[in-house]
Structure 1
Amino acid sequence: MSKFTPAQLIARYEACRTSRRTIEGVWNDITRLVFPYKGDMFNDYPDEQSIDWRENRDVFDSTAVFAAARLSASIHGLITNPFLRWFEASFRDSKLNEVAGAREWLEEVSEVIYQTLQDSNLNTEGGEMYQDLVGYGTSVLVEEDTAIDGDYDDWEGVKFQCIPIREAFFESDYEGGVAAFYRRNEWTAVQIMSKFMSEDVPETIREQAESAESVGIRHDVILCVYVENLEPGQEVPDVSRVMPADRRPIQWRYILQSDKTVLGTGGYYEMPAFAPRWRKMSGSQWGWSPAMIALPDIKTVNAMAEQGLAAGEKAIDPAIFIPEMDIFSDLDFTAGAVNVVRSTENIIAAPSGSDFQQEVARIDRLRISIMEAFHSNELELKESPAMTATEAMIREDKMQRLLGPTAGRINTDVWGPVINRTFMILTRAGKIAQPPAGLENAELDIAFLGPLSRAQSSDKIAAIDRVVEGALMLAETVPDNLDLIDFDEATRERARLLAAPATIINDEDKVEQLRETRAKAQEEAKQAAQMQQGSEMIKNVGGPEGVEQLTSQMQQAQGQGQGPQQ
Structure 2
Amino acid sequence: MTSAIEKDPRAEAAIRVWQELKGARTEHEQDWMELGQLLRPSRGGFTAADPGAHRREKILNSAGIIAAQNFSAGLHGTLTNSANRWFALTTPDERLRDFQPMREWLDTASRRLLLSFAPANSPFYSAAAQLFGDVSVFGNAAQYDEQPPGETGFLDVTLSMAECCYDIDAYGRVTEVIRKFRLTPTAAAQRYGYDPLPEKLRELADKGSRDRVTFYHHVGRNHAWRRGRLGPTGKRWFSIHAAEEGGTVLRHGGYDDMPFFAPRWDVETGQVYARGPGWTALPAARKLELMTAANLRAGQRAADPTLLAPSKEDWPLSGRVRPGAMIYGGVDMAGRQLVRALDTTARTGLSLEMQQQAVEEMRDAHHWSLMNLAGRTGMTATEVIERQEEKLRLMAPHLGRIQEEYLAPKIARRFALLWKAGQMPAPPPEAAGSPLTVEYTSAAAMAARSAEGAATVRLLSDLGPLAQVKPDVLDRLSEDDIVEVLAEARGAPARLLRSRDEAGQMRAARAEQQQAAAMLEAAQAGGGIARDIAAAQPEGAA
Answer yes or no: same fold by TM over 0.5.
yes
Q: State the AA in 2 paired with 1:136.
A: F
Which residue of 2 is the match for residue 178 of structure 1?
A: 174
With over 3 angstroms needed to count, the CA separation of the structure-2 counterparts of 1:390 and 1:192, relative to structure 1, is closer
Conservation of the 8 A alpha-carbon contact between 1:332 and 1:338: no
C-alpha offsets along residues 324-368 of structure 1, whole Å, 9 cap, x if unaligned? Answer: 266154333223333332636221111112111111111112212
With over 3 angstroms needed to count, the CA separation of the structure-2 counterparts of 1:453 and 1:258, relative to structure 1, is farther
Moved more, 359-368 or 506-515: 506-515
Q: 1:284 aligned to 2:286?
A: no
| Offset at residue 509 of structure 1 (A) | 2.1
Q: Secondary structure at the match of 1:42?
A: coil
Q: 1:341 aligned to 2:329?
A: yes
Q: State the AA in 2 paired with 1:361.
A: E
Q: State the AA in 1 paired with 2:132.
A: Y
Which residue of 2 is the match for residue 221 of structure 1?
A: 215
Which residue of 1 is the match for residue 137 of structure 2?
A: 135
Q: State the AA in 1 paired with 2:28.
A: I
Conservation of the 8 A alpha-carbon contact between 1:32 and 1:40: no
Conservation of the 8 A alpha-carbon contact between 2:217 and 2:242: yes
Q: 1:275 aligned to 2:244?
A: no
With over 3 angstroms needed to count, the CA separation of the structure-2 counterparts of 1:210 and 1:51, relative to structure 1, is farther
With over 3 angstroms needed to count, the CA separation of the structure-2 counterparts of 1:215 and 1:422, relative to structure 1, is closer
> Out of 403, 410, 416, which is 2:402 matched to?
410
Gaps of 5+ in 2: 1-8
**1:119-518 correspondence runs (5 A):** 119-146=121-148, 148=149, 154-209=150-205, 215-216=210-211, 218-230=212-224, 234=226, 236-237=227-228, 244=231, 247-257=234-244, 259-324=246-311, 327=314, 329=316, 330-341=318-329, 343=331, 345-381=337-373, 383=375, 385-454=377-446, 488=480, 492=484, 499-518=491-510
**1:92-111 correspondence runs (5 A):** 92-111=92-111
Q: State the AA in 2 paired with 1:120.
A: S
| Offset at residue 386 of structure 1 (A) | 4.9
Gaps of 5+ in 1: 149-153, 550-566
Q: State the AA in 2 paired with 1:332.
A: R
Q: Secondary structure at the match of 2:272?
A: coil
| Offset at residue 223 of structure 1 (A) | 0.5
**How far, CA to CA, are the matches of 1:203 and 1:46 in structure 2?**
25
Which residue of 1 is the match for residue 32 of structure 2?
A: 27
Conservation of the 8 A alpha-carbon contact between 1:400 and 1:456: no
**How far, CA to CA, are the matches of 1:375 and 1:473 in structure 2?**
47
| Offset at residue 209 of structure 1 (A) | 4.2
**How far, CA to CA, are the matches of 1:494 and 1:473 in structure 2?**
21
**How far, CA to CA, are the matches of 1:124 and 1:103 in structure 2?**
31
Conservation of the 8 A alpha-carbon contact between 2:261 and 2:406: yes
Which residue of 2 is the match for residue 36 of structure 1?
A: 41
Conservation of the 8 A alpha-carbon contact between 1:397 and 1:455: no
**How far, CA to CA, are the matches of 1:455 and 1:537 in structure 2?**
62
**1:65-104 correspondence runs (5 A):** 65-104=65-104
| Offset at residue 422 of structure 1 (A) | 1.2
Q: Secondary structure at the match of 1:200?
A: coil
Which residue of 1 is the match for residue 16 of structure 2?
A: 11
**How far, CA to CA, are the matches of 1:175 and 1:479 in structure 2?**
58
**How far, CA to CA, are the matches of 2:492 and 2:514 in structure 1?**
31
Moved more, 336-345 or 88-97: 336-345
Which residue of 2 is the match for residue 561 of structure 1?
A: none
Conservation of the 8 A alpha-carbon contact between 2:10 and 2:249: no
C-alpha offsets along residues 208-256 of structure 1, whole Å, 9 cap, x if unaligned? Answer: 44568x743x43311111222236xx4x239xxxx65663332211122
Count of residues paired in the alignment = 523
**How far, CA to CA, are the matches of 1:517 and 1:185 in structure 2?**
69
Q: Secondary structure at the match of 1:226?
A: strand
Q: Secondary structure at the match of 2:252?
A: strand
With over 3 angstroms needed to count, the CA separation of the structure-2 counterparts of 1:481 and 1:198, relative to structure 1, is closer
C-alpha offsets along residues 294-317 of structure 1, whole Å, 9 cap, x if unaligned? Answer: 111111011100111011111111
Q: State the AA in 1 paired with 2:319.
A: L
Conservation of the 8 A alpha-carbon contact between 1:474 and 1:481: no
With over 3 angstroms needed to count, the CA separation of the structure-2 counterparts of 1:73 and 1:257, relative to structure 1, is same
With over 3 angstroms needed to count, the CA separation of the structure-2 counterparts of 1:221 and 1:541, relative to structure 1, is same
With over 3 angstroms needed to count, the CA separation of the structure-2 counterparts of 1:170 and 1:531, relative to structure 1, is same
Q: State the AA in 1 paired with 2:310.
A: P
**How far, CA to CA, are the matches of 2:171 and 2:507 in structure 1?**
49
Conservation of the 8 A alpha-carbon contact between 1:294 and 1:373: yes
Q: Secondary structure at the match of 1:68?
A: helix
**How far, CA to CA, are the matches of 1:376 and 1:229 in structure 2?**
45
**How far, CA to CA, are the matches of 1:280 and 1:456 in structure 2?**
31
Conservation of the 8 A alpha-carbon contact between 1:426 and 1:432: yes
**How far, CA to CA, are the matches of 1:295 and 1:167 in structure 2?**
23
Q: Secondary structure at the match of 1:5?
A: helix
Which residue of 1 is the match for residue 3 of structure 2?
A: none
Q: Secondary structure at the match of 1:204?
A: helix
C-alpha offsets along residues 499-527 of structure 1, whole Å, 9 cap, x if unaligned? Answer: 54211332232122122123213323432
**How far, CA to CA, are the matches of 1:5 and 1:450 in structure 2?**
44
Moved more, 516-525 or 336-345: 336-345
**How far, CA to CA, are the matches of 1:237 and 1:473 in structure 2?**
67
Conservation of the 8 A alpha-carbon contact between 2:89 and 2:109: yes
With over 3 angstroms needed to count, the CA separation of the structure-2 counterparts of 1:9 and 1:517, relative to structure 1, is same
**How far, CA to CA, are the matches of 1:525 and 1:175 in structure 2?**
70
With over 3 angstroms needed to count, the CA separation of the structure-2 counterparts of 1:324 and 1:220, relative to structure 1, is same
Q: Secondary structure at the match of 2:430?
A: coil
**How far, CA to CA, are the matches of 1:41 and 1:468 in structure 2?**
62
Aligned CA-pair RMSD: 3.5
Which residue of 2 is the match for residue 553 of structure 1?
A: none
Moved more, 422-431 or 372-381: 372-381
Which residue of 2 is the match for residue 552 of structure 1?
A: none
**How far, CA to CA, are the matches of 1:38 and 1:169 in structure 2?**
15
Q: State the AA in 1 paired with 2:326.
A: V
Identity over aligned residues, as a percent?
23
| Offset at residue 455 of structure 1 (A) | 5.0
Q: State the AA in 2 paired with 1:419.
A: I
**How far, CA to CA, are the matches of 2:475 and 2:271 in structure 1?**
53
| Offset at residue 197 of structure 1 (A) | 3.4
Q: Secondary structure at the match of 1:38?
A: coil
Conservation of the 8 A alpha-carbon contact between 1:400 and 1:455: no
